[in-house]
Amino acid sequence: MNRRPKIKDIAAALGVSPATVSRALSDSELVTAETRARIRETAQALNYRPNASARSLRTARSMSVLMVVRDVGNPFYLDILKSVEATARAAGYSVLMGNTENDPEREIEYFDMLRDGHADGMILMTGKLPAQDGSRHKLPPNSPIVVALEMIEGSGFPHVQIDNVAAARAAVEHLIGLGHRRIAHISGPIPEVMSVLRQEGYRQAMNAAGLAVPAGYEPRGDYLLHGGAAACKALFDLREPPTAIFVANDEMAFGAIHQLRGMGRDVPGDVSVVGFDDLYLSEAFYPPLTTVHQPRIDIGRQAMTLLLKMLSGEPAPAEPVVLPATLRIRATSGRPNS
């Protein structure tokens, strides 16, 4: 015989029942330590592995979770993925990758994977729920979903996040503290919650310091390299360009610095730049980027830990888990030279 062995084969080989084998393999106390050992041995000898689908069907759990992001290609998610995977693995779960690219179709597909038992739970980092058109695609009430990074207001799902407003405010306060008064903000795609929050932090800091936000000082970006460069260019086409820029993420900050260099402006000599995220390589960048550090490892771990709790029946916390984000002052921010 050359097919994959099943429980029955082990049972037959030992003259016991399949039930006993099943119990022995899941370390049930109901089986003599001795028979358990014997069963283990032959299972090993036969190179046995329990069939995953059969087990899933029977137990109604897939032992997989789904991690859904807007763009798997974004390096921002790396550490989160890593810690989610590690935490999941430690609990016996596998991680399925979901990539929506803002496509509503796909968003629905990933939610469907939850309903059809492909995955037992989901960590959602896209900042949105699929359109709940009538009864279709309706999720069962207590779905094991954790929202991380982004937030979905009124969704009722537990959240793991940072305080974007406070972090942005701290970044701008740092620039103000250095003596800057003409501070611009390159934002994310504005209707999106996260972009709005970071902009809000910028405005709060400016307001609190009695500084004006001149027209054109809040160009909108797209969180991408090129968008940062373009927004930066727009700023320096203004009659009164800023002496400092708070950029809504590191990638755009890189683009902006690139652009400044191209225009012959020194960073931080002529213009200070502060980013947001503290990407891998932001420190190795030249000059090392001053930015807001997001505790990605923690975010991933906490989100997965929360999900695991929900999967084991614990109630989800009503309050969002808010992790500290801290400003990392490096070399792209300095005093204004005028």
Partner DNA sequence: CTGAAAGCGCTAACAG
Partner DNA sequence: CTGTTAGCGCTTTCAG
Q: Which residues bind DNA (CB under 7 A)?
A: 3-4, 6-8, 15-23, 25-26, 29-32, 35, 50-51, 54-55, 57-60
Residues 238-267 that bind a second copy (CB under 8 A): 254-255, 257-258, 261
**Residue pair 148/80 in contact by the 8 Å Cβ criterion:** yes
Q: Which does 256 bind (CB under 5 to 8 A by kind): a second copy, DNA, none?
A: none
Q: Amino acid identity of 146?
A: V
Residue 50 or 156: the one with the smaller Cβ distance to DNA is 50
35 binds a second copy (CB under 8 A): no
Residue 7 or 248: the one with the smaller Cβ distance to DNA is 7
Among 6, 38, 118, 181, binds a second copy (CB under 8 A): 118
| Cβ at position 176, least distance to a second copy in Å | 27
Q: Which does 35 bind (CB under 5 to 8 A by kind): a second copy, DNA, none?
A: DNA
| Cβ at position 142, least distance to DNA in Å | 18
Residues in contact with 147: Cβ distance below 8 Å, sequence separation at least 6, in sequence order: 123, 124, 125, 155, 157, 158, 159, 160, 161
Residue 25 or 193: the one with the smaller Cβ distance to DNA is 25
Question: What whole-number distance in Å separates Cα of residue 245 and Cα of residue 200?
Answer: 15
Residue 25's nearest CA partner among 50, 46, 8, 47 is 50
331 binds a second copy (CB under 8 A): no
| Cβ at position 17, least distance to DNA in Å | 3
Residues 188-227 that bind a second copy (CB under 8 A): 225
Residues in the chain: 338
CA dihedral 18, 22, 27, 31 (to 10 degrees): -20
Residue showing tokens 């995977």: 85
Question: What whole-number distance in Å separates Cα of residue 301 and Cα of residue 236?
Answer: 41
| Cβ at position 10, least distance to DNA in Å | 8
Point out which residues pair with 320 in neighbouring strands.
Answer: none
| Cβ at position 26, least distance to DNA in Å | 6
Residues 71-100 that bind a second copy (CB under 8 A): 71-75, 78-79, 81-82, 85-86, 89, 94-97, 99
Residue 296's nearest CA partner among 329, 273, 275, 324 is 324
Q: Which does 74 bind (CB under 5 to 8 A by kind): DNA, a second copy, none?
A: a second copy
Q: Amino acid identity of 296?
A: R
8 binds a second copy (CB under 8 A): no
Residue showing tokens 């300095």: 334
Residue 160's nearest CA partner among 145, 143, 170, 138 is 145
| Cβ at position 139, least distance to a second copy in Å | 10
Question: What whole-number distance in Å separates Cα of residue 137 and Cα of residue 135?
Answer: 7
Q: CA triplet 175, 173, 327: central angle to 5 degrees?
A: 85
**Residue pair 205/181 in contact by the 8 Å Cβ criterion:** no
Q: Which of these ranges, 19-27, 67-75, 175-183, 204-212, lies near a second copy under the rule CB under 8 A? A: 67-75
Taking each continuous run of H as one helix and of E as one strand, the counts in the chain are 11, 11
Binding site for a second copy (CB under 8 A): 4, 44, 47, 49-54, 56-57, 60, 62, 64, 71-75, 78-79, 81-82, 85-86, 89, 94-97, 99, 106, 112-113, 115-118, 135-138, 225, 254-255, 257-258, 261, 280-281, 284-286
